Amino acid sequence: MRVSSYEGEESKGKLEIKIDLDTDIKDRDVIIVEDIIDTGLTLSELKKYLEGKGAKSVNVCCLLDKPDRRKVDDINPEYVGFTIPNEFVIGYGLDYNEAYRTIPFVGVLTHDKEKEPQKSLVRKKTRNI
């Protein structure tokens, strides 16, 4: 599957299914492998969608978890690589409006408020997470 609900740094709050399942999951255990969990809105909707297709169970595995941003109570991943603070991260496939996805590290996206918005993207030195 491929789903999305983000535009820029904020969730649109509506699940958009870009590529749906091509396999029947009725009575099967499902693990969602996610890069990052932020508000949990997308994941909550996706879990409901998969449960509605008859999944026996739906568990979540993520590389990065940002629990301070969570807006739903039903998302608590069973498997977590790293818990990170409430900062917008980019790189290793994580993007900002489809940009910065190919950076070979995870970095924090910051905005320089003295520059115009379209020129304000700067990188803060990354730290190991």
Asked if residues 106 and 129 have their Cβ atoms less than 8 Å apart, the reply is yes
- Check: CB of residue 34 under 8 Å from CB of residue 25: no
Asked whether residue 35 falls in the same domain as residue 22, the answer is yes
Which structural domain, as residue segments, surrounds residue 106?
A: 87-129
Q: Give yes or no: residues 5 and 58 share one domain.
A: yes
User: Which entry of 38, 68, 73, 112 is annotated as an active-site residue?
Assistant: 38
Read off the pTM.
0.75
Most confident of 2-6, 26-30, 38-42: 26-30
Number of separate domains in the chain: 2
Q: Two tokens at 96?
A: 């900002």
Give CA angle at 96 (3, 82), nearest 5°. Answer: 75
Round the average pLDDT of the chain to a whole number and report it. 84
Active site residue 29: no
pLDDT tens-digit map of 45-86: 999 999 999 999 999 999 999 999 999 999 999 999 999 999
Higher pLDDT, 74 or 8: 74
Q: Quick one: pLDDT at residue 6?
A: 61
Residue 129 has pLDDT above 90, yes or no: no
The 3-state DSSP class for residue 45 equals helix
pLDDT at position 114: 56
| Residues 57-66 pLDDT 10s | 999 999 999 9
